[in-house]
A and B are shown apart, each in its own frame.
Chain A
């Protein structure tokens, strides 16, 4: 009997344990409540959003898209800032690497955060929650801006779309007008500015980053309103183009947003000294590497070994090449170098290399640049300049001809022909045969960093890039995926330039005020830091070109200029079967001196910007997914 009772008891005990509820959320998957109910979880969520932010940084090229490690057709070689052996002409971004889908994925993650964080607001202070909401909307604004600057008006999704859903028609979204798209971004940035705090972790935005971005976005919108000629209307919405009557509104918004940063950020001048060119040069180099720079508004950090890029490996001058065998992908053009002040010039503004039909002779290659503004040396490696303790030797060849009465130019002006082979010794690659000079000493025909006639791994334009290169990186670490310097996506100099340009445009559109003198003040701040001479009066600002030129100089090689050429709608005029120019240093054996030959790109690579590219092609796969998505004109 007892036995039976015990058996029954056992049985019943077993029964009670079975009462456990089985319908529990999977415990091996992180739940919303694990992430959104504590500050650490929110930080992790934000980290992922920032990591996917579509900005054109060290890991971007128009051929291979965002976040790619192999950058051998660099962005500056598409704009005419530089030449690269791997970039043969103008291009629009590779449509197969379009960020379209990734941007909407990121927007969805932001919308999800915005819709769900309120459920956990009791765990945080109100300011914390609002700050995060502002931050999320900053990220959404930056993401939409990446779309709008490429495609014009895009579908505006501001909530998490449910799929599968009964409302399939609601998922089928048409493109909003370009104007509405810019206004949507502006509203997000305004919200971000109002709700975020003044400071944030490095790499994350604060309220001033939102204001700075707004100045950038509104300047784009104003430029489109003023300069665009392309119209596409779909369902009553102008999805390409903005009415010109809106230009004033947008330029004003750009000015107002830029002003919010007054006194909060400043140009980096830690090691700057008035009148001291060496200090000004060193200051401009340091600006890109000082984590505490008061100029950095929004940055993207890298850290070896978990988050890396290869900028140094791809771009060091040939003689500092690392073990991967890459070098000199970005070679600034003479067109870029000529923008900067302090160079001897011909009456047409080109670099002066001859006098009365004979080449000017220099003892050292650096002598030509002796009076150049310090910003030039900090941006471009000039032939014979110092980098990492070495003199960077850039020489096209040795001129062995007679020099009695001076040397006449090797080619007629404007010629695109090859150099004559008589009287010139040159090298086809880095394995050089030294040439015996008349005095008995020997010299390699080409410099250690080029220029070689058969091997593009050299300074093909006569210059090499300096900006962003870590000045003290040992060659053993000049490797792919070994660089981790910080990308500065927005610095105060850009905000000043945004302000100056918007102010100039407002003045030209007949708006009264101190716009022109304000523009000059902003430009002069930048010129002073750069070591260039200041503008003196309104006569220097008759044309917007003065401001655009300053922008090209200051922000060159920072992956911004292509977007500027597009919004100014000047790209198709600048790049119309255009040959960019290079500067070839030669050593005259009989004179024991150098001369320079300014000529067009020896490869005869011509750049033509197709007008269609002002509005990029939307990937066909996206067009086919939707009944309402309309392609941009001409594709």
Chain B
């Protein structure tokens, strides 16, 4: 009797082990796509925010003319890197705070198409040359004032000559945060200054050096702050353009 139980148990274990054989052996996606979104005018990457900023749009056209798009979010410095793609032919473009790479006219006909068709296999680098709506540059270094606030100077210029993308600037912020990820998605609203503009008010401040100071009184001492200026124009989804991130140490 005991023997029989052992036999049955042994069989069961053997069957169980046999069933473990792996059948779903399609190879993992492991191709890499990386690159940058670059301001054609300055050669620098276009600063953005993670999440609702720049994203890379992939249309895998190797099996369908009308694929559902796949998006890769860009990092805040305007670079992207994705390491888990399948092999295939992709039509790649980018969306963000710059003149759209693919434009259509009122009838839906494509008038501008700067997307790139790329065979993804191994590691592929795809850069995009774009015209940002706005260029925001620091002027000099931010300083810590005697009252504990931070003052910085910046200059905003238009990044494109195309009047279709020169709408009014609607608002501007000095974003302050305690870590290097700083932007509209991530900031300390106690200290971040916000300026709203009506109509074309902001045009007068373009191409000028403007000074801005943090709000909300003195910043807590003996730590680092990460600051960044962001502004946006009244076009489409109103993406922010950003300056790069400056680190300020409040002693």
Determine the distance from Cα of A238 to Cα of B107 in the docked complex, in whole angstroms: 8
With an 8 A cutoff between CB atoms, is A12 at the interface?
A: no
With an 8 A cutoff between CB atoms, is B235 at the interface?
A: yes
Determine the distance from Cα of A229 to Cα of B235 in the docked complex, in whole angstroms: 6
The reply to whether B66 and A627 contact each other, CB–CB distance below 8 Å, is: yes
Q: Is the interface of A mostly helix, strand, loop or mixed?
A: loop
- The smallest beta-carbon distance between A569 and chain B, in angstroms, is 9
Determine the distance from Cα of A533 to Cα of B73 in the docked complex, in whole angstroms: 54
The reply to whether A634 and B194 contact each other, CB–CB distance below 8 Å, is: no
With an 8 A cutoff between CB atoms, is A433 at the interface?
A: no
Interface string of B190-202 (1 = CB under 8 A from A): 1010101000000
B residues within 8 A CB of A416?
190, 216
The reply to whether B235 and A233 contact each other, CB–CB distance below 8 Å, is: no
A residues within 8 A CB of B170?
573
B residues within 8 A CB of A238?
106, 108
The reply to whether A236 and B52 contact each other, CB–CB distance below 8 Å, is: no
The reply to whether A576 and B196 contact each other, CB–CB distance below 8 Å, is: yes
The reply to whether B68 and A623 contact each other, CB–CB distance below 8 Å, is: yes
Determine the distance from Cα of A573 to Cα of B184 in the docked complex, in whole angstroms: 14
B residues within 8 A CB of A634?
52, 95, 237
Nearest residue (CB) in B for A416 is B190
A residues within 8 A CB of B163?
none
With an 8 A cutoff between CB atoms, is A234 at the interface?
A: yes
The reply to whether B235 and A576 contact each other, CB–CB distance below 8 Å, is: no
With an 8 A cutoff between CB atoms, is A146 at the interface?
A: no
- The smallest beta-carbon distance between A46 and chain B, in angstroms, is 39
With an 8 A cutoff between CB atoms, is B234 at the interface?
A: yes
Inter-chain residue pair count (beta carbon < 8 A): 51
B residues within 8 A CB of A230?
236-237
With an 8 A cutoff between CB atoms, is A237 at the interface?
A: yes
- The smallest beta-carbon distance between A631 and chain B, in angstroms, is 8
The reply to whether B234 and A576 contact each other, CB–CB distance below 8 Å, is: no
Which residues of chain A from 207 to 266 have any CB-CB distance to chain B below 8 Å in the complex? 229-231, 233-238, 243
Interface string of B218-248 (1 = CB under 8 A from A): 0000000000000000111110000000000
Determine the distance from Cα of A628 to Cα of B238 in the docked complex, in whole angstroms: 27
The reply to whether A577 and B237 contact each other, CB–CB distance below 8 Å, is: no
Q: Which of A234, A237, A573, A628 has the most CB of B within 10 A?
A: A573
With an 8 A cutoff between CB atoms, is A572 at the interface?
A: yes
Q: Which of B95, B109, B192, B234 has the most CB of A within 10 A?
A: B234
Determine the distance from Cα of A624 to Cα of B66 in the docked complex, in whole angstroms: 12
Which residues of chain A from 276 to 303 have any CB-CB distance to chain B below 8 Å in the complex? none
The reply to whether B108 and A611 contact each other, CB–CB distance below 8 Å, is: no
The reply to whether A572 and B238 contact each other, CB–CB distance below 8 Å, is: yes
Determine the distance from Cα of A612 to Cα of B95 in the docked complex, in whole angstroms: 13
Determine the distance from Cα of A604 to Cα of B188 in the docked complex, in whole angstroms: 12
Which residues of chain A from 542 to 588 have any CB-CB distance to chain B below 8 Å in the complex? 572-573, 576-577
With an 8 A cutoff between CB atoms, is B209 at the interface?
A: no
Chain B residues with CB under 8 Å of chain A are 52, 66, 68-69, 95, 104, 106-109, 167, 170-171, 184, 189-190, 192, 194, 196, 216, 234-238
Given A237-B108, A608-B184, A624-B68, 9 more pairs with CB closer than 8 A: A229-B167, A230-B237, A233-B106, A243-B106, A416-B190, A577-B189, A610-B52, A633-B236, A634-B95
Chain A residues with CB under 8 Å of chain B are 229-231, 233-238, 243, 416, 572-573, 576-577, 604, 606, 608, 610-612, 623-624, 627-628, 631, 633-634
**What are 18 residue pairs bridging A and B, where the CB atoms are less than 8 Å apart in the complex?**
A229-B234, A229-B235, A234-B108, A235-B108, A236-B107, A416-B216, A572-B238, A573-B170, A573-B196, A576-B196, A577-B192, A610-B52, A611-B236, A611-B238, A612-B52, A623-B68, A634-B52, A634-B237
